[in-house]
Chain A
Amino acid sequence: MPPLLEVRNLRTEFRTGAGVVRAVNDVSYSVDPGETVAVVGESGSGKSVGALSILRLIPNPPGKVVGGEVIFAGRDLMKFSDAEMRHVRGGEIGMVFQEPMTSLNPVLSIGRQITEMIEQHRGGDRAAADKRALELLGLVGIADPQRRLKQYPHQLSGGMRQRVMIAIALACEPKLIIADEPTTALDVTIQAQILELMQRLTQQLGVALIVITHNLGIVARYAHRVNVMYAGRIVESGPAAAIYHTPHHPYTMALLKSVPRLDRPRQARLDPIEGQPPDLTRLDRGCPFRPRCRFAVEACAVSMPPLAPAGASGQLAACFRSSELSLEAGYAA
């Protein structure tokens, strides 16, 4: 089965006063139909810009996708006209963003925002759209949907607004949903409700999901596969269990070690990643993680290691020393 989405050598840059920021730097990955892929990384790692680039939502200027292909259901989205792209966004690809208050229109009722989406993409009459909107609100678990349809975003709580965003994303039966930090603004009990809902619906409806997050717990619970990003590049990629149990990139290892965990005995001391993430305007030819890496050797300064197969669990890692590192990690859980 061919992948639903294939991103090949994607590059996105921003021209700023301080220089060119290489926000996404030669990123390639694929998403199969119905699969949940998580993109993890810290601020500035390029995870959001990467997703916005797929949807061609990068503001130009200052940003620009300067290279690469995004093959979605067999067609290159980078070659689409603006009109064709509008049809893809919200139609074949649904979107859920972090802050539901800013991504919903404050002066339109909830119902109108859902029916607008349906009419734009599906045409048809208002009555059919209204019926579908009611059905969608029920699907995302909003009680008393008839009354809620007439309400405005400010009358809903944060969790409820995010449910509405999910209803809008699902309105036109997309094949893929891109969710950018969908629960970061929510409290932990509401976050659990929303994530369980998204998992249930994507499974039930066979929708693929790209979820962008910095939360390693969410990735472990909900993702089939994981892309770990650092300084605009994917440094490790593979099945979730493999990434967590036998990480092959020093950054992934360090990231997993740096978080305090509820499921392990209390540690005497945390093991942070020393130093700061690099300045993206001043990247050299070498590996961007090199200055913070405990395993760096001279070769790391000369060129960027390619994303290559590492270990026996089917993952890829961009590190010259990945084969030596696997055992040192001591992650046999």
Chain B
Amino acid sequence: MSLAAEARPVARADTKPLLEVRGLKMHFPITEGIIARRKIGDVKAVDGVNLTIGRGETLGLVGESGCGKTTMGRCILRLETPTEGAILYDGIDIATLDRRSLVALRRRIQVIFQDPYSSLNPRQKVGAILAEPMKVHGIEPDAKRREAKVRELLRTCGLNPNFADRYPHEMSGGQRQRVGIARALAVDPEFIVCDEAVSALDVSIQAQIINLLEDLREKFNLTYLFIAHDLSVVRHLCQRVAVMYLGHVVELASCDEVFDNPLHPYTRALLAAVPVPDPTVEADRSFQPLPGEVPSPINPPAGCVFHPRCPLAVESCRQVIPELRELRPGHWVACSQVT
């Protein structure tokens, strides 16, 4: 297709990132009153995030509920319009794009959601679910060829092509998630946001879907933003990892660095909290669970947002917001106390 050729510049041999997020803030206003709505505060879901994703790379975004990882993904998809900052995708700023250009861009950026039960239309057959994005973007206008492509997609995602005639409720959770993946692939995207894409699945099925995501990445040269709370899955699938806490990226490094040599006290606590499936290892491992809970993003603590729970916190942490610093080559940490 000529359109595809236009929309997708040939991969350049430079190191320019495919996606660059600069100073991203997403504040959701809290309002009060029924007739005259007054703004009484902000939920600071994402509060000044910088990161980059290279072409063909998989970046993991980890953190606990409310840390802003899903909001980050939604901003990149422009399902939310950011309050501040820029999201440069191949040089185009997604944050300020008009509607028409946005539709064109969404052909290149797709999403796989967590819950395959609520993200597929229960009244549509699988074939129609997969054909719809092709219609929207004018891919395969010929109905026969579109149908053939639907079957091809199903096969690519490890499903029997006959599933095109089924409804989502006739399928298991793992099969539905394969349909969700096939739908994302229907428009030949180059970048996919996977928002907790394997979290709702049982472990035996989860491994199948992880392998599928890896195969597809290789086959179609895809770039993933992999949002998840399961650290062992992120370690398996990603090349680099960003750890988020209360709207901030606190640590950003290669996967091996984050897991073998974590520097930020929050990352350390997060890793220590995950029990490993080996009773002998666990019997010898003692750890102190991180005290307290994540504070409200409406009134985040001053200074470093992690200081109320941090074992290393000193007086200055209450006032000064730590910048992300490159402590080792490619290993960025937002903590004034680690060196």
Report yes or no: B277 in contact with A244, Cβ–Cβ below 8 A: yes
Q: Given A214-B202, A261-B232 in contact, is the A159-B293 Cβ separation under 8 Å?
A: yes
- Chain A residues with Cβ below 8 Å from B232 are 259-262
Kindly state whether residue B90 has any CB partner on chain A within 8 Å: no
Q: Given A159-B293, A193-B289 in contact, is the A42-B280 Cβ separation under 8 Å?
A: no
- Chain A residues with Cβ below 8 Å from B173 are 43
Which of B172, B203, B271 is packed against the most chain A CB atoms within 10 Å? Answer: B203
Q: How many angstroms from the CA of A273 to the CA of B282 in the assembled complex?
A: 25
Report yes or no: B64 in contact with A42, Cβ–Cβ below 8 A: no
Interface residues on B, range: 35 or more
Q: How many angstroms from the CA of A62 to the CA of B214 in the assembled complex?
A: 42
Closest to A190 in B: B293
Kindly state whether residue A258 has any CB partner on chain B within 8 Å: yes
Q: How many angstroms from the CA of A277 to the CA of B207 in the assembled complex?
A: 14
Q: How many angstroms from the CA of A195 to the CA of B282 in the assembled complex?
A: 13
- Chain B residues with Cβ below 8 Å from A263 are 276, 278, 281
Kindly state whether residue A84 has any CB partner on chain B within 8 Å: no
Among the stretches A113-121, A171-179, A264-272, A318-326, the one at the interface with B is A264-272
- Chain A residues with Cβ below 8 Å from B83 are none
Kindly state whether residue B105 has any CB partner on chain A within 8 Å: no
Kindly state whether residue B128 has any CB partner on chain A within 8 Å: no
Kindly state whether residue B31 has any CB partner on chain A within 8 Å: no
Among the stretches A90-98, A132-140, A217-225, the one at the interface with B is A217-225
Q: How far is the CB of B245 from chain A (nearest CB, A)?
A: 10
Kindly state whether residue B2 has any CB partner on chain A within 8 Å: no
Report yes or no: B270 in contact with A276, Cβ–Cβ below 8 A: no
Q: How far is the CB of A280 from chain B (nearest CB, A)?
A: 13
Kindly state whether residue A107 has any CB partner on chain B within 8 Å: no
B-facing residues in A181-212 (Cβ within 8 Å): 187-193, 195-196
- Chain B residues with Cβ below 8 Å from A258 are 203-204, 206-207
Report yes or no: A333 in contact with B277, Cβ–Cβ below 8 A: no
Q: How far is the CB of A160 from chain B (nearest CB, A)?
A: 8
Q: How far is the CB of B160 from chain A (nearest CB, A)?
A: 12
- Chain A residues with Cβ below 8 Å from B233 are 260
Kindly state whether residue B102 has any CB partner on chain A within 8 Å: no
Kindly state whether residue B269 has any CB partner on chain A within 8 Å: yes
Kindly state whether residue B175 has any CB partner on chain A within 8 Å: yes
Report yes or no: B276 in contact with A217, Cβ–Cβ below 8 A: yes
A-facing residues in B198-215 (Cβ within 8 Å): 202-208, 210-211, 214
Q: How many angstroms from the CA of A188 to the CA of B275 in the assembled complex?
A: 10
Q: How many angstroms from the CA of A282 to the CA of B214 in the assembled complex?
A: 34
- Chain B residues with Cβ below 8 Å from A221 are 275, 279, 282, 285
Q: How many angstroms from the CA of A189 to the CA of B64 in the assembled complex?
A: 8
- Chain A residues with Cβ below 8 Å from B290 are 189, 192-193
A-facing residues in B167-187 (Cβ within 8 Å): 172-175
B-facing residues in A239-265 (Cβ within 8 Å): 240-241, 244-245, 254-256, 258-263
Report yes or no: B277 in contact with A256, Cβ–Cβ below 8 A: yes
Task: List, sorted by A's number, 18 A–B pairs whose CB atoms are closer than 8 Å.
Answer: A43-B173, A187-B229, A189-B290, A192-B272, A192-B287, A192-B290, A216-B277, A255-B204, A258-B207, A259-B203, A260-B210, A260-B235, A262-B232, A262-B259, A266-B236, A270-B210, A273-B208, A274-B208
Chain B residues within 8 Å of A, Cβ to Cβ: 64-65, 172-175, 202-208, 210-211, 214, 229, 231-233, 235-236, 255-256, 259, 269-282, 285, 287, 289-291, 293-294
Extra pairs beyond A42-B205, A195-B275, A266-B235 (18, CB < 8 Å): A159-B293, A192-B273, A192-B275, A192-B287, A196-B289, A220-B277, A223-B279, A240-B279, A241-B279, A255-B204, A258-B207, A260-B232, A263-B278, A266-B256, A267-B236, A270-B210, A270-B211, A277-B172
